A and B are shown apart, each in its own frame.
Chain A
Amino acid sequence: MSCGCKKNNVPKTYKIVSIKKETEQVQTFTFDVSLGARPGQFVMVWLPGVDEVPMSVSMDDGKNLSITFFQVGDMTTELAKCKVGDLVGLRGPLGTHYEWKKGQHLILVAGGYGAAPMYFVANEAVKDECTVDFIVGARSKDLLLYTDEIKKLENTNLHIATDDGSEGHKGYNTEILEKLINQRLSSTERQSASGEASKNTPLDSTPCEEPHSRKASVFACGPEMMLKRISDICAEEEVTCFLSLERYMKCGYGLCGNCCMDPLGIRVCKDGPVISNDICRQLTEFGAYHRDELGRKKKF
């Protein structure tokens, strides 16, 4: 049954059909509904009597929608207590999503629980014959997310970085990104010099008139200081880049103005959360501060 409304932003509650514990503090809830969400979009998740917060969709396969969340505040602490069969409100999908061309090469960079929405991107993109370098970063091995699932994806190379070196590269995931972009650039230069055809380069799979360095797209989701670093790298190397930004939200559909970013006044809920690096470069508050529920600036 529906009210016949063409547009609707009133939450409805759905049952949790499965719960997966990803790490000590991260869980994935799957619901008995698909909202037709695309990778990068978010939903407002309502726990009746507690609060409603925006969360990235970690999968929507046309039958079920999942969210993966980190137990960090009052709402998520309560949410974490839910069991299979409990009701949670959802509204959405909301905001912009990631887009790619068929057969394109994608470099995905995920920090912390950013791995969940990035996995959704990879899962859908490989269906479009995309090739993927998937860089996952976390403080340590036991906080890595979705690595088993990523390993099972076709045409996907997994790269891991941990701060403590307990798995993969010791250091930041952005260091792997720099290495991949540099490899790619030097391979392009070699080919240009020798006049070779442009196939089978490490970071590209289809020929194109554009220089190879511009063809791959970088998508990233994670802590803002990580995104800022990625923004700088991609701007410097002239690589197309889209970033998932996060701001405090109330309505989630462009009315309240709480998630506006300085100085352009764009709304992260409506004009984002997936925002091109060209726009991010114009946002003076990006990587500098965000605003709390009262609209007050809080430095990162």
Chain B
Amino acid sequence: MIVLAGILNVMELKQNILGIEFTNPTVLASGIWGVTASGWRCVAKNGAGAITTKSLWDKEHKGHPNPTIISNEYWSLNAVGIPDAGPEKAREEIASYMADHPVYPEQSRRTPLVANIVSNSKEGFGEIAKVIAELKPDAIEVNISCPNVEDELGKPFACSKPDAAGVTEAVKKHTGDIPVFVKLSPNVNNIGEIAKAVVGAGADGITAINTVGPGMAIDLKSRKPILSNRVGGLSGRAIKPVAVRCVADCYKATDGKVPIIGTGGIYTGEDALEIMMAGASLVGIGTAIWDRGEEVFKKVCEEMSEWCDANDVKDLSEIIGSIHK
């Protein structure tokens, strides 16, 4: 029975999206465990259906001093500040990953890689898109929604339809047939309109959501904010309802025509199914790694399969966007 369930799991959770074979819908979310090729491989070994890199800049970019990430069982706050060494490191790490060095023998095939890119200008986004596209990742995700660099960069591009569309166009000029996902911010009045704008500008998919807020945590005795940046993006269990609503808005606004990576507070198989019912085809997992360990990807897949078996679901297409049908 257990063996049979194992075989069914693989069949049920497999999807082909934008020409990419995903063995299951879980995706390592950007910013988590994503600095090096060896980190990506380790997460892939732990069962993730795809890996997203930490945001890659068109030039070296320093982050914030520590403390940068704090968590309790309800939420995490982070303001890492998107540190990155720039294109030279990206080339080395992505080339190493794509070359598929057999570090872990149990991995029969390379897990798809989504390269997340960031910049402080439309031109910069074009530059880094060009560099990264040459490395042929399976997909590119465009981070226009980080809330932790506002002092430096101003309001995220994801807060304005023309800005969000402009960045998307700048990226798409250089990416050829590599699918482009644009990662949106929940901290806007109408995320659906932004989704529509980026899809209109050529985005092949949407990632929703980046972190919420920002928020602040204060140490009582010293009477000071804990994060060095004072504020940071909120993630973890607490944000799931916001993520589910945002995915539903994006799906509706784009008539379910583009795939959505639903991210935010996904810890269990039921969380994953819930955000898929809102319209996600793939499910980002990040903060939950702390709580449920690196096995979280496998656990979420098992829980999804169990639920699908128990509820007579034969294919994930029956689930995706079900609230809109």
* A residues adjacent to B (C-beta < 8 A): 3, 5-13, 44, 46, 48-53, 87, 89, 91, 250-251, 253-258, 260-267, 291-296
**Closest partner residue, chain B, to A86 (CB atom):** B222
B85 cross-chain contacts in A, Cβ below 8 A: 292, 294-296
A48 touching B224, Cβ below 8 Å: yes
Q: Count residues on chain B whose CB falls below 8 Å from chain A CBs.
A: 50
Q: Is B120 an interface residue (CB 8 A)?
A: no
Find B38's partner among A12, A44, A265 (CB 8 Å cutoff).
A265
Please give the distance in Å from A181's CB to the nearest CB on chain B: 31
B287 cross-chain contacts in A, Cβ below 8 A: 255
A12 touching B221, Cβ below 8 Å: yes
B76 cross-chain contacts in A, Cβ below 8 A: 255
**Closest partner residue, chain B, to A1 (CB atom):** B220
Given A262-B36, A265-B43, A294-B85; A254-B290 close (CB under 8 Å): yes
CA distance A253 to B236 in the complex (A): 15
Please give the distance in Å from A185's CB to the nearest CB on chain B: 34
B66 touching A87, Cβ below 8 Å: no
A255 cross-chain contacts in B, Cβ below 8 A: 32-33, 69, 71, 76, 286-287, 289-290
B73 touching A6, Cβ below 8 Å: yes
B89 touching A296, Cβ below 8 Å: yes
B289 touching A7, Cβ below 8 Å: no
Find B68's partner among A12, A256, A260, A294 (CB 8 Å cutoff).
A256
Find A11's partner among B40, B54, B70, B84 (CB 8 Å cutoff).
B70
Instruction: Mark B56-88 against chain A: 1 for CB-CB distance below 8 A, else 0.
Output: 000011110111111111101000100111000
CA distance A3 to B294 in the complex (A): 26
CA distance A263 to B104 in the complex (A): 10
B226 cross-chain contacts in A, Cβ below 8 A: 10-11, 46, 89
A260 touching B36, Cβ below 8 Å: yes
A46 touching B60, Cβ below 8 Å: no
B37 cross-chain contacts in A, Cβ below 8 A: 262
**Closest partner residue, chain B, to A46 (CB atom):** B67
Find B72's partner among A3, A53, A262 (CB 8 Å cutoff).
A3
Please give the distance in Å from A245's CB to the nearest CB on chain B: 14
B42 touching A48, Cβ below 8 Å: no
**4 further interface pairs, Cβ-Cβ under 8 Å (given A11-B226, A13-B221):** A51-B66, A256-B35, A257-B35, A264-B38
B42 touching A260, Cβ below 8 Å: yes
**Closest partner residue, chain A, to B66 (CB atom):** A52
User: What 8 A-B pairs are tightest by C-beta distance, nearest first?
Assistant: A265-B42, A52-B66, A265-B38, A257-B33, A251-B69, A260-B39, A296-B85, A294-B85
Given A267-B33, A294-B60; A87-B71 close (CB under 8 Å): no
B121 cross-chain contacts in A, Cβ below 8 A: none
B42 cross-chain contacts in A, Cβ below 8 A: 260, 264-266
A254 touching B289, Cβ below 8 Å: yes
Please give the distance in Å from A268's CB to the nearest CB on chain B: 12
CA distance A258 to B36 in the complex (A): 8
Please give the distance in Å from A285's CB to the nearest CB on chain B: 8
B38 touching A262, Cβ below 8 Å: yes
Please give the distance in Å from B310's CB to the nearest CB on chain A: 28
Find B35's partner among A3, A87, A258 (CB 8 Å cutoff).
A258
B71 cross-chain contacts in A, Cβ below 8 A: 7-10, 251, 253, 255
Please give the distance in Å from B72's CB to the nearest CB on chain A: 4
Please give the distance in Å from B52's CB to the nearest CB on chain A: 12
Pull 25 A–B residue pairs with CB atoms less than 8 Å apart, ordered by A. A5-B72, A9-B71, A11-B219, A12-B221, A46-B67, A51-B228, A52-B65, A87-B221, A87-B222, A89-B219, A255-B71, A255-B286, A255-B289, A256-B32, A257-B34, A260-B33, A260-B38, A262-B37, A263-B41, A265-B38, A265-B45, A267-B39, A291-B35, A296-B85, A296-B89
B43 cross-chain contacts in A, Cβ below 8 A: 265
**Closest partner residue, chain B, to A284 (CB atom):** B38
CA distance A292 to B289 in the complex (A): 23
Q: Is B217 an interface residue (CB 8 A)?
A: yes
CA distance A159 to B289 in the complex (A): 43
**Closest partner residue, chain B, to A251 (CB atom):** B69
B41 cross-chain contacts in A, Cβ below 8 A: 263, 265
